[in-house]
Amino acid sequence: MDKWLAEFFEAKTDSPDEGLVVEVLWQIWKYRNHHIFRDRKPKTEAIMANALAQSRSFKRWNWSTRNRTTTAQNLPTSWTAPEGGNLKLNVDCSWVEGESASSIAGLLRNSSGVIVEGFAKAIHASSPLQAETLAVLHGLRLLKKENDTHVGQVQESNKSLVCETD
């Protein structure tokens, strides 16, 4: 998918607006998560309507992105492969203030970037830090099950959690 998006953004074709493509993908992801974790049925019309509205709003109010091009060279690279035969665990969570229902997800990838195992799970958490911690814990259990002989790496974006685990 990353390669496809990079090629799409590099191509000079009559394709739809790049921002609209990104918004459609984002809305699909959001509605997928609502379906899986909150048992809400997705509505195709709502996905497109929200994507169009968000895209129009972004263009109207975000002047800094006008006349700007995106190429594969300036797309952010956020994942680096682990060394040797190690596995790398990437985790994230979804948490909404005032609701205890949350979700966690994680991927185990090998040094070639191939997904070896993954998980997505509904949880109950009282803070984003608790949700992220549960994601790391669940992922470490999965890493141990899959990778008894090699030390793995964990990548997680919550700075508080990273600082507390050092």
Mean pLDDT, contiguous 10-residue spans, the chain (166 residues): 69 68 86 87 82 77 54 56 81 87 88 83 92 91 69 59 44
Contacts of 37 (CB under 8 A, 6+ apart): 94, 101, 103, 122
CA atoms within 13 A on the CB side of 64: 0
Torsion of CA 56, 62, 68, 72, to 10 degrees: -80
User: 44-61 and 18-38 are packed helices; what angle lies between their axes, rounded to 10 degrees?
Assistant: 130
The confidence score (pLDDT) of residue 21 equals 81
Domain ranges of the chain: 2-74, 88-165
The pTM is what? 0.48
Give the CATH number of domain 88-165; options: 2.60.120.10, 3.40.50.2300, 3.40.50.720, 3.30.420.10: 3.30.420.10
Taking the C-alpha atoms of residue 87 and residue 108, their distance in angstroms, rounded to an integer, is: 6
39: tokens are: 């048992």
Quote the Cα angle for 5-158-2, to 5°: 10
Residue carrying the six token digits 């969570």: 93
Q: What's the CA gap between 78 and 94, in Å, rounded?
A: 19
Joined together, the tokens standing for residue 160 give: 């508080």
Residue 81, amino acid: A
Q: How deeply is 125 buried, as exposed, middle or buried, from its count of CB atoms within 10 A (0-12, 13-18, 19+)?
A: buried
- Cα separation, 9 vs 71, whole angstroms: 6
